[in-house]
Structure 1
Amino acid sequence: MSYALTHLRDLLAPGFDDILDVRSPGEFADDHIPGALNLPVLDDAERALVGTIYKQESAFRARKVGGALVAKRAGANIEACLLDKPGSYRPLVYCWRGGMRSGAFATILRQVGWRAETLEGGYKSFRRAVISLLYAPPDEAPPLLERLVVLDGNTGTAKTELLRRMATRGAQVLDLEGLARHRGSLFGALASGQPSQKSFDTEIAMQLVAFDPHRPVLVEAESSRIGHLAVPGVIWALMRQAPRIRVGAGLAHRGAYLAQAYADLAADRDRLSETIGLLRPYHPAERILGWHALAAAGQMADLARELVLHHYDPKYARQRSRDVQPELGSLELSGFDDAALEAAAQDIMELAEQSPARLSPR
């Protein structure tokens, strides 16, 4: 029995007890349906072996070898992970394209007595749904984010922290930097590294379909790339059209805030020095040397102020000169203490409620 995915919303409350991804660990790591459990019926080496046999020998021999491996691993998966499941257990099983791996595993589960179903088309059908949502041509794009609002502001104005606080207050927030595991700037890489582009797309798509389309959705102003990841085309087009709320703060406050927010980078002097070096094509040699000296001396707040004053603020000013989006309002932070940030978060939410509904780029 197969389950047809007609829209990504179908996965929000499909009535299944578990979603079981039986692809190899490498396939699962690249991307998977959020919340899925990885119970591989072939590991990465076994999958490669079966593929080689299929190409170099015959499809029949590949099916024989694959079938034996799948049967062996299916039993181990049941013993290790599923023995405590009741008779009413209803899992959704998927593999790459809804073929042998998911079909064989689901058959075994049904023989046990469980109500297993396979995802029609497998992971590929899920990926197609994500692509149709995020990368459709403008004239075919589905209605999305009818009340998108962009939170704009120069570097060091706590935009990410403000979005986090608004989310805890119940606002609909699309945290692209959080999903990308990157802080957005040249200095923004995190030790944890970034997900794959496919995984980034998946997380964005599943958040979008969970949002109430009648309420505002707040997103931080970004470039078209966050680290090595591209913001999906439909999202980027909507951000370029969306109304903005601008937040500002004094240079001294911003420098101190950035020194704290980037403490992990400050602690890694080699990485900090290497990143400063990447700015050589854009600034005089004396300025780069001065920034290196501040970093070496541990004067991180001073370094942050210098970077903001001479690199990031001029960069944002050039970008804004090309902006055509309407503004819903602006506010100036008097500081970054808890009370100031909470008050600002509330003010931004109230301004966002004034955003009009609009059409997606069709």
Structure 2
Amino acid sequence: MNKIETISVNEIDPEKHLLFDVRSPKEYEEYHLPGAECLSIFSNEERAEIGTLYKQHSKELAMQRGLEVVGPKLPLLFQRIKTVKDQNPNKDVVIYCARGGMRSKSIAQTMSMMGLDCLQLEGGIRSHRKLIDAFFEEFIQTARQIIVLEGHTGTMKTKVLEHLQREGYPVINLEEMAGHKGSIFGRIGEQPSSQKKFESKLYERLKVLEDSPTLIIESESKRIGRVVVPDFLLQGKYDGTRIHIEMPFYIRVKYICNVYEPLLHKEEITEAVIKLSKRIPSIVMEDIHQALLSEDYEKVVSLLLEYYYDPKYEYAEKKYESPCIRVYGDSFQEVNRKVKEHIDRLI
């Protein structure tokens, strides 16, 4: 059998390569290379079955079962790769799996035998993880100015960040990368990222901002949904220049209701509120439950802000000693304009 040519992760170029991920759908969903197509040779259940055979019986038995499963799928796998290749004749096909082992090698060899030349990614997706770790280590060696947008829940910080990023400012939108809005309602309407997917998105963004002397972030907790924020960004929250956004209470309430669309997510909202039962006075929780039953979501949000989020934020704010610029506005347009003016002066 012909030896398959390999390619290192550093050589991958979206302009030159077509990436195919032959791991299971679950592995692909957790984290995959940017632009890669899912070409699973095993379903999640098949992968679990073969893994069990490997661990509890033998490698040979696992390989035999793998061959039985993959064999009937080969024509379809070949056709899928060929279709994409025909649409991109000047690009080379790259097959990868978890560690650059049996799954990617066997598919690359089989496709090449059928006249469809393929490269195998050395070290599989694990090599990309190592690349990300090395990049982070190097990135933190350069000191950068960190500008932190902060403010009570509902002060439109994320919306300001999104507008700044669209205008070319060096923004790192951690909530977007995490697939979570950072509150008890944070996962509603979102697709939460795994830690690996989050770090991959962060890596892609930091590559773009590698030469920027300034980074703009939102003040976040150590954990956003399922992911943990790297220490170098968390430290920036304490050492950087803070821009504190203040808005009228009623505007914050309306904004939160507009963002989370509670009438479309009644059950999820209720489940999230119940999780706070032990952190809010029981008499207040009774009012919140009554408001949920009557679908008075502005009252629900008002009570949560008054008795949970605002006190929690004010307690955390006492830990900061870095410079703080306060911005007040009663509309997004006003707040956005003032924040931009301060950032322009800072950078």
TM above 0.5, one fold? yes
Q: CA deviation at 1:125?
A: 1.5
Change (3 A) 1:85 1:187: closer
Q: 1:334 aligns with which of 327, 330, 333?
A: 330
Confirm or deny: 8 A CA contact 1:256 1:301 kept in the other structure. yes
How does 1:100-249 map onto structure 2 within 5 Å? 100-112=102-114, 114-133=116-135, 142-143=140-141, 146-249=144-247
2:337 aligned counterpart, secondary structure: helix
Letter in 2 for 1:208: L
Contact 2:99/2:127 (CA < 8 Å) preserved in 1? Answer: yes
2:82–2:116 contact (8 Å) kept in structure 1: no
Q: Report Cα offsets for 1:224-279 as digits up to 9, x if no partner.
A: 1112332234433343433222111122222222222222x354444434433333
Cα-Cα RMSD:
2.8
- Give the drift of 1:40: 1.9
Superposition deviation, residue 193 in structure 1: 4.3
Structure 2 residue aligned with 1:356: none
In the other structure, the counterpart of 1:293 is 290
* Alignment partner of 1:4 is 2:2: no
User: Is this contact kept in 2: 1:98–1:120, CA < 8 A?
Assistant: yes
Q: Which runs of 5+ in 1 are unaligned?
A: 354-362
Match among 252, 255, 259 for residue 254 of structure 1: 252
**Is residue 147–residue 213 contact of structure 1 (8 Å, CA) maintained in 2?**
no
Cα deviation, 1:120-166, whole Å, max 9, x if unaligned, reads 111121223334455x6xxx874368233211111111001111111
Match of 2:28 in 1: 28
* Contact 1:163–1:345, Cα closer than 8 Å, also in 2: no
**Aligned pairs, how many?**
341
Q: Is residue 266–residue 272 contact of structure 1 (8 Å, CA) maintained in 2?
A: no
Quote the Cα distance in structure 1 between the aligned partners of 2:118 and 2:81.
15
More contact order relative to length (CA 8 Å, sep ≥ 6): 1
CA distance in 1, matches of 2:81, 2:9: 26
Structure 1 residues 191, 100: CA separation in 2 closer, same or farther (over 3 Å shift)?
same
Residue aligning to 1:307:
304
Quick one: distance in 2 between partners of 1:324 and 1:89? 53
Matched residue SS, 1:213: coil
Structure 2 residue 273 is matched with structure 1 residue 276: yes
Alpha-carbon distance in structure 1 between the residues aligned to 2:175 and 2:118: 37
- Corresponding residue of 1:323: 320
Partner of 1:75: 75
Query: 2:139 touches 2:210 (CA, 8 Å); kept in 1?
Result: no
Letter in 1 for 2:302: R
Q: TM-score, normalised by structure 1?
A: 0.82
Contact 2:170/2:212, CA 8 A, preserved across alignment: no
Percent identity for Structure 1 against Structure 2: 27
In structure 1, the partner of 2:40 is 40
SS state of the match for residue 19, structure 1? strand
Task: Give the gaps of 5 or more residues in structure 2.
Answer: none
Match of 1:346 among 315, 328, 340: 340
- 1:22 alignment partner AA: V
By how many angstroms is 1:192 displaced? 4.2
Q: 1:345, CA displacement in angstroms?
A: 5.3
Q: CA deviation at 1:313?
A: 1.9
Distance 1:26 1:277 in 2: 30
2:18 alignment partner in structure 1: 18
Distance 2:22 2:45 in 1: 14
Matches of 1:228 and 1:80, distance apart in 2? 33
